[in-house]
Amino acid sequence: MKYIVTIFFAGVFVVIAGLLYLYSEVRFDAYKIIDYHPKLSTQIYDRNGELIANIFEKHHRLYATYEEIPARVIEALVAIEDTSFFEHDGVNFEAIFRAFIKDVKAMKIVEGASTITQQLVKNAVLTREKKVVRKLKEILLAFKIERELSKEQILERYFNQVYFGHGYYGIKTAALGYFHKNLDALSLKEIAMLVGLPRAPSAYDPTRNIDLSLSRANRVLYRMKALGWISDKEYRKGIGEQPLVFDDTLTKNRAPYVVDEVIKRASKRYEDLKTGGYKIYLGIDLRLQRLARESLKFGYDEIFKRHPDSNSSILNGALVSLDSKSGDILAMVGGVDYKTSHFNRAVQSKRQPGSSFKPFIYQKALDLGYSTMSEIPDISRVYTDKKTAKDWKPKNYEENFNGLLTLKEALVHSRNLATINLVNALGLDTVYRALKKEGFKNLPYDLSIALGSFGISPLEFSGFYSMFPNYGVKVEPILIKKIVDRFGDETIFESQKQRLVSPEQAFLMVDILRTVVQRGTGRKAQVKGIETAGKTGTTNKNIDAWFCGFTPEIEVLAWYGNDDNSPMKKYETGGRVAGPAFAHFVKEYIKMFPQTKRKFSEPDGVTKRTINGRREYFTQTSPLPKTNQFEENEKGGMLF
């Protein structure tokens, strides 16, 4: 007897020691659940609160507080998984004994008896393998969790931790993913489908095995009815319902070029961007983003109609639209097809703006006292580089020249020679310094500056162009409006604004660019029912084709070219290629927003006069000329 007692106590000691050892191995794991901070997906929204994309590192998880989880969801889970959840201390020994008998009869583990607490432990910190040691660890941790957390806290962690199939972690994620509904909008059958998923997420995934999923949901409903938690009427209604299930991608990315840029920018400020559960609000309007894609593709397709032999593997484009007043980027498309190329030409590509840069040169002339009627020579000259002694003889696109032209007509018809002569008259150093002060970078310090011979991205260029529709105020294009962290703290991003020109002086350029569209190189950018303005840009050999335009409220820049900087087909100019894309966008825009402002306003300080049957505008700085102002300022000439 003495030996039996000794053996008994020795056995008890070994068991206790073993349990203590196991507990020492896993006790710190409990705090992964007690101090629960899971990695959460960040969501990006457009200006109207529409979801643009989910971004995450490995697991797509949206968090739901206990208060967000409807009582019906809790009842359904408890009914099918752990009826005595609110009575036990983490482990249901009666259920374990029943399962043990079945396992002994089968000579293997065929049935578990895990409580909801044990399932949480298994999902959060342990493996799913069916081994006795793991089961013991699970039990020990379950007791620890029950001592530290309330039942409500355990349920909250369970519903956010477990896997619901299809890449969805957490019940809120699954509800939005499968049914496009918030938790409080779920039907009883949808709830039953969701709570039935964690038992076998892949097998019961309704996007893959709808019959199995519905069958499992019906068992949940039957269990709820058997417990008296739903009525016969509710049960019959639930059994007969077959919810609409959506088979979405996890990211739901509806604007990939935009999302890539958001991640790039926001990651600099938030290192945990993909795991911190942020909400990012943009100025983008998804309706206009779709329209931008359609407009860019419209212009692209028109090129192939004219030239079916064009190289589709290198021909591409970009389109950016801004709210001129706020600087909000309303739409940004960096290529014709994101699946074919992720390269964002709206942001990453530095292309020569060509003649679309000329308005900035002409604005300097106006601000220095020229008027729209001042005359400048459209004649050919040979310029000599002082350093290399090489001659440069620029020419107009039409390969002719017209003698004297008014400043307005020179820009309306995009005359290269007139523009170069204007820069020469103003003084290269004067023009260069003024443009640098406004923020332009990488400008050439020679007369080719007049022809836009430097690289700039469409998005960056759109910021400079905003000074015209915004009557002299340049606004920084703003992509991210606000970022909210999981605790509700907000970071607000606002556009930087800089007044460069007085309203009346800027209006003189608005009028010229409006005329460019009415009867100049931008005629294909006309849209019935609204005033549009802008400038075409075509670089040497038709390598780049631009139209940079605006209405009284929005700005749209379109660019086309070959990715390898090879020439496009002959005559594929900015007006012919990019102008129609602009017009397509604006035409559809005014259908979406019929209340948009249709005409440009005349600010104070502007006077007008009819000259040769045309209305011309003047200001105190740019008055009606009495003499040939160009000849008065041309003295001395200048070498290139």
Q: Is 453 considered catalytic here?
A: no
Q: Which helix (H) or strand (E) holds 131?
A: none
Query: Helix H segments across 332-372?
Result: 358-367
Do 586 and 556 contact (CB within 8 A), yes or no?
yes
Instruction: Find the catalytic residue in 81, 156, 190, 409.
Output: 81
211 vs 191: CA distance, rounded Å: 16
333 vs 462: CA distance, rounded Å: 13
DSSP notation for 223-247: HHHHTTSS-HHHHHHHHH-------
Do 298 and 290 contact (CB within 8 A), yes or no?
no
Bridge partner residues of 279 (DSSP): 43, 484
Q: Is 634 considered catalytic here?
A: no
Do 324 and 597 contact (CB within 8 A), yes or no?
no
Query: Helix H segments across 558-605?
Result: 574-592
Instruction: Find the catalytic residue in 114, 324, 355, 448.
Output: 355
Judged by phi (left if over 0) then psi (alpha if -120 to 50, else beta), residue 124 lies in alpha
For the chain, first and last CA: distance in Å?
115
Q: Which helix (H) or strand (E) holds 530?
A: none
User: What dihedral do alpha carbons 221, 226, 229, 233 form, nearest 10°?
Assistant: 70
**Helix-strand-coil split of the chain, %, nearest 5:** 45, 15, 40
Phi, psi dihedral angles at 340 (to 5 degrees)? -80, -35
User: What dihedral do alpha carbons 377, 500, 585, 492 form, nearest 10°?
Assistant: 160
Which residues are within 8 A (CB) of 196 and not within 5 positions of it... i.e. 6 or more apart?
A: 80, 204, 213, 216, 217, 219, 220
| 333: helix, strand or coil | strand
Closest CA to 377 of 426, 431, 420: 420
Which residues are within 8 A (CB) of 363 and not within 5 positions of it... i.e. 6 or more apart?
A: 501, 505, 506, 509
Active site residues: 81, 355
